[in-house]
Amino acid sequence: MFAVIKTGGKQYRVAAEDEITIMTIPGEPGDDVTFGNVLMVARDGVTEIGAPYLGGISVAGKIVEHARGPKVIAFKKRRRKNSRRKRGHRQDLTIVRITDILVGGSAAAEK
C-alpha cells in the first residue's frame, strides 16, 4: 500500500516506514504529524485518485529531526571593476518517518 501526498508545494510517494525529507514544518523531534492532502492511494490492486484530494484518507508520521540542506552558492559577476556578489543559502528541512496510511477516517494506532 502506498499513497501520494502533497506538502510544501511538492508531491511525495510514501509507504509505511518510509523516511522523507520535506520543507520545514513546526514541531519537535518525536512529535506526530498528519498529512491530509492525499492525492492518490493504491491498495489491494485498487487505485483511488482524488480530484484534487481524497476525503477520509490521511497519512500519519513522526518527526525524526530538523536538518539543513546543502549550501547553494549564488555568484554574480558583471564586467565592471569589483562588480561581483556572492551569496550562500541553506534550506531548512524536516525528516519525517511515515508510520501509517489511515483509510476511512480511522485514527493513528497508539504504540
Domain positions in the chain? 2-103
> Percent of the chain at pLDDT above 90?
86
pLDDT by residue (tens digit) across 45-91? 999 999 999 999 999 999 999 999 999 999 999 998 999 999 999 99
* pLDDT above 70: residue 106: no
**CA separation for the pair 101, 66 (Å, rounded):** 22
Q: How confident is the model at residue 2 (pLDDT cuts 50, 70, 90)?
A: very high
For residue 107, give the DSSP letter: P
pTM of the full predicted structure?
A: 0.83
User: 42 vs 5, 28, 91, CA distance in Å?
Assistant: 12, 30, 32
